[in-house]
Amino acid sequence: MPRETPGDRGLAFEDVGVRTSDGLRLVGWFLPSPGQPTIIVQHGYKDSRGTMLGVAAMLRRNGYAVLVQTVRAHDSSDGEVVGLGSREMDDLAAWWQWLIARADVDPQRVGIFGVSMGGSLVLQYAAQNQQLKAVVADCAFSSITDTVETSVRFFTGLPPFPFAPLILFWVERDLGVDASSIDAKQWVGRISPRPVFLLQGGADVVVSPASGTRLFEAAKEPKDLWVEPELGHAQFLEKRPAEFERRVIAFYDRYLR
């Protein structure tokens, strides 16, 4: 559950929700800005809407409408299993249908932003939804197999071997998918000719620091990559707030306005 709402930051918002095709209820916030482009904002692994308030406030400050959505098994949304992308496309599709049904949203001017696992989710969804016009992924994992050793160290404190192979076995058994299929490198190249902006911290201890480069190499034009060697996981807004705002807003302004 989030500890604060957009209202705590003086932002007008609506509590909103959708139901997925498999019957799960998901919660979110919508910050309206009629007549302006809209940005969908997606949180990361085991995070809530509240962790995206800084990004939402920045976007709203620059005139954008913002949908802060959640996916299954996060926040107070329904669901028990985090699918790492194997199940969440239904969630993003449900939010998309809700969004474009609003009279105050122009479906031709919608971008998307995701952080960490959320970054990988938005790359996957943008590859499927050609109506999304601009994509920003902040410290997305390039694939489960690319980043599992880094993630094992961070989330468990255990050595990669023999635990990384066990994690991959668990992913395949419990999700019923081949771990190699959860691979954003396969998706990012299908987003072109729509633009992609990738951010990656070189001192990331949550996902492989090489993820940004791998995704950038797999992407097609137009694309951009911002690497900060000394930054950790998803620290751009915290550590480089002015430059983060300038570069992210310039990207969305160029392609949505």
- Establish if 168 belongs to a structural domain: no
pLDDT digits (tens, 9 = 90+) for 64-120: 999 999 999 888 998 777 756 678 899 999 999 999 999 999 999 999 999 999 999
The residue with greater pLDDT, 148 or 41, is 41
For residue 159, what pLDDT is reported? Answer: 66
pLDDT at 180 over 80: no
Q: What is the dihedral of CA 256, 207, 43, 137, to 10 degrees?
A: 0
Tokens of 204: 């990331």
For residue 152, what pLDDT is reported? Answer: 66
Percent of the chain with pLDDT over 70: 86
Q: Which residues fall within 8 angstroms of residue 103, CB to CB, at 6 or more apart?
A: none
Q: What average pLDDT does range 107-134 have in this prediction? A: 97
Q: How confident is the model at residue 168 (pLDDT cuts 50, 70, 90)?
A: low
Number of domains in the chain: 1
For residue 179, what pLDDT is reported? Answer: 60
Mean pLDDT of the residues in the chain: 90
CA separation for the pair 85, 113 (Å, rounded)? 15
pTM of the model: 0.91
- Establish if 150 belongs to a structural domain: no
- Establish if 156 belongs to a structural domain: no
CA separation for the pair 98, 82 (Å, rounded)? 22
Highest mean pLDDT among 36-45, 147-156, 175-184: 36-45
Beta bridge partners of 183: 143
CATH of the domain at 56: 3.40.50.1820
- Establish if 244 belongs to a structural domain: yes
SS3 11: coil
- Establish if 165 belongs to a structural domain: no
Q: How confident is the model at residue 162 (pLDDT cuts 50, 70, 90)?
A: low
For residue 139, what pLDDT is reported? Answer: 97
> Which is it for strands 110-115 and 38-42: parallel, antiparallel or unpaired?
parallel
- Establish if 170 belongs to a structural domain: no
Q: What average pLDDT does range 125-129 have in this prediction? A: 97
> Which is it for strands 14-19 and 25-31: parallel, antiparallel or unpaired?
antiparallel
For residue 59, what pLDDT is reported? Answer: 98
If residue 26 lies in a helix (H) or strand (E), which one and from where to where?
Answer: strand 25-31
- Establish if 138 belongs to a structural domain: yes
Q: Which domain holds residue 226?
A: 6-143+184-256
- Establish if 240 belongs to a structural domain: yes
